[in-house]
Structure formats: C-alpha cells, structure tokens
Chains A and B, each alone.
Chain A
C-alpha cells in the first residue's frame, strides 16, 4: 500500500529566487533556523543538459531523526540500529528549467527503506496551475512579470516491512532471519499500514516547517541578494570564501 498526501502553496517571490532558496535552504541554521536537524549536505551530481538547458542536481542530506519516534518505538533495535542511530540519509534529485519556468524535485530516504520509504515530490512553477495549458508565448509574458511562484508538494509513504525484499535486505545486514518471524504473514500488512499512517500524520507539521524555512531564506534573499547573504554568513563564521 502507498499513502499519499498532496498540498499546494504559493510564494510571493519570483520563480528564480525560489529555486535559489531551494538550493540554499539547508545552507546554514542562521539562514534557516528550521534546518538545524540537517547535519550535512553534499552534491554528487550537477550538470546542465546542453540540449534543453536544464540543470540536473543530485544531493545527499544527512538529517537527524527524521523517522518519527512512534515508529522507532514500534520496531526492534535490529531494524532501527538502536537509539544511537537515528540519522537518515536523504537523496534529493532536482531539475530546473529556467526558460520554461519550472523546477521538479524528488527527495527520498536512503536508509531505513526496509521499514518505510518516504518520497517528497515538488513541482515549482512560475505560472499558476490553472494556467498551465496556455500557450508558451503568453505564459512567457506572464512569467516575466509574475512575482509569485506556485508549488505542489506530494508526500508518499510506502512500508514494505516483512516483505521478501525487506527480509533479504535485513538478512544481508543483520544475518538474523529469526528476528523477523513476528512480522511476517498476516500481521505484516497491518503493521505496514500503521507505519504509513503514523508517518503521514506527521506530514502537515513537516510541510509547515519546511515552508517557513523557505520563507526565511526568501526574505533574506529579497532584502540582500545571494552574494551579500553568503558573505554575511561567512563573516560570522570567520571565513572569507566570498571576499576574493
């Protein structure tokens, strides 16, 4: 089973600024206080497709305890790695098309996938959803004057706990077939949907925090511009990457 949850939102900032805020949102807790749970951010791929001009970026974020504690409590330590290991790696793929005025992003957890896979998909656009079908020319005109950016966010939750694939993965990692006896068979589906619903109930809270974080980054960019914002952050941290 898969649980999904979609919300729409608009930012009162132009599309290019919103895409920049997306890349900057975990840059520093001083820029975005809601990013304190993000321990690291690394780029593993970044390239512009020469034909389309689209920018493809892949990043890995390490986040502290993104798995809801209600789920951690539900599971044996052999799955969660015990209380000490509550960080999860998140893989983020994004595509920006600056000419057409859209950005698509997809983020998913890399570990704990045997328990729960969470995927957050976002579609940012310089044109409102109901104008998506108007001709390219008129949307280009409205885009250049548009001060707003529309975003649709979909979270999907899929638990495959107790499935064959999970058991295989767990056996590889833990070499402990017996420990998962309790979860196989008729109980597995029930536990899977509990996990999916616990996780999905956390979504609203998560969406609000991530939106508030984006807004704070956007406000800083509006008043100062990116180079000034970064220079200020570096100055506070005693670095000089932008001084040269």
Chain B
C-alpha cells in the first residue's frame, strides 16, 4: 500500500485510496459517473494532508508550479 508523504495521514489516505479504486473500477469505468461516494473520506484525508503540505512547504512549491505553467507551456492538458 503506497504511503502518504505524511505518516500521520496514512490511515485516512488508505481508506480513501481503497474507496477511490473501488469506485473507479466498479463505477466510473462502467460509465456510472457519480463521484460523491468517497467524498467524506477525501475530506478527512485532505484535512490531515493540508497541514503536512504546509509544514513541509510543499504548498509553496505547488503555487510556484501553478505560476510557472501560466508562464510556459501546459498545452498538453488543455481541454480538447
């Protein structure tokens, strides 16, 4: 099971991952598009992760990356 960058978030992350993969394989891939199923687990996970991203200053790296993709390319992920 892949770890979270923040060990204290591992448990909530695993719960969310399990939910996501089940939803993705059994619902999304079969064209049942509702994504609310894992929402509460995602919320718990993000609550934990946000603190960890801030502590490790990764939130700043993310902001820089967003700034950078405005300056440069990112043609690839533009909508079709």
Q: CB-CB contacts of B9-41 with A at 8 A, as 1s and 0s?
A: 100011111101110111011010111000000
Q: Is A26 an interface residue (CB 8 A)?
A: yes
Contact assessment for A16 and B29 in the assembled complex, using a CB-CB cutoff below 8 Å: yes
Chain B nearest Cβ from A93, distance in angstroms: 6
Is the pair B58, A89 in contact by a Cβ cutoff of 8 Å?
Answer: yes
Which residue from B4, B15, B58, B76 sits with its C-beta under 8 Å from A104? B76
Q: How far is the CA of A44 from the CA of B59 in the complex (A)?
A: 11
Q: Which of B2, B28, B29 has the largest count of A CB atoms less than 10 A from its CB? A: B2
* A143 part of interface (Cβ distance < 8 Å): no
Q: Of A46, A95, A96, A99, which contacts B20 at CB under 8 A?
A: A46
Contacts of A99 in B (CB 8 A): 31
Is B61 a contact of A110 with CB atoms below 8 Å? yes
Q: A55-B35, A110-B65, A111-B61 are in contact. Are A40 and B29 (CB under 8 A)?
A: no
Find A98's partner among B2, B29, B49 (CB 8 Å cutoff).
B29
B: number of interface residues (CB 8 Å): 42
Distance between Cα atoms of A46 and B13 in the complex (Å): 13
Q: How far is the CB of B13 from chain A (nearest CB, A)?
A: 7
- A40-B3, A53-B33 known; A121 vs B76 contact (CB < 8 Å): yes
**Does A42 make an interface contact (CB < 8 A)?**
yes
B-facing residues in A10-63 (Cβ within 8 Å): 16, 19-20, 23-24, 26-28, 38-44, 46-48, 53, 55, 60, 62
With a cutoff of 8 Å between Cβ atoms, the chain A residues found around residue B13 in the complex are 42-43
- A227 adjacent to B22 (CB under 8 Å): yes
Identity of the chain A residue whose Cβ is nearest the Cβ of B61 in the assembled complex: A110
Q: Are B49 and A23 touching (Cβ within 8 A)?
A: no
Q: Quick check: is A8 within 8 A (CB to CB) of the other chain?
A: no
A98 to B31 alpha-carbon distance, docked (Å): 7
Most buried by A among B5, B25, B64, B72: B25
B29 near A62: Cβ-Cβ < 8 Å? no
A113 within 8 A of B: yes
Given contacts A43-B16, A113-B68, contact A237 B25 (CB under 8 A): no
Q: Give chain B residues whose Cβ lies under 8 Å from the Cβ of A158.
A: 72
Starting from the known contacts A19-B29, A43-B20, A106-B74, 11 additional A-B residue pairs (CB-CB under 8 Å) come to A16-B29, A24-B21, A27-B17, A42-B13, A43-B16, A44-B62, A46-B35, A119-B73, A227-B25, A230-B21, A241-B15
3 shortest interchain CB distances as A-B pairs: A40-B5, A121-B76, A48-B35
Could you name 16 residue pairs across A and B whose Cβ atoms are closer than 8 Å?
A28-B2, A40-B2, A41-B4, A42-B4, A43-B16, A46-B42, A55-B24, A55-B35, A110-B62, A110-B64, A169-B64, A226-B21, A227-B26, A230-B21, A233-B1, A237-B1
Which B residues fall within an 8 A CB radius of A?
Answer: 1-6, 9, 13-18, 20-22, 24-26, 28-29, 31, 33-35, 42, 45-46, 49, 53, 58, 61-62, 64-65, 68, 72-74, 76-77, 80
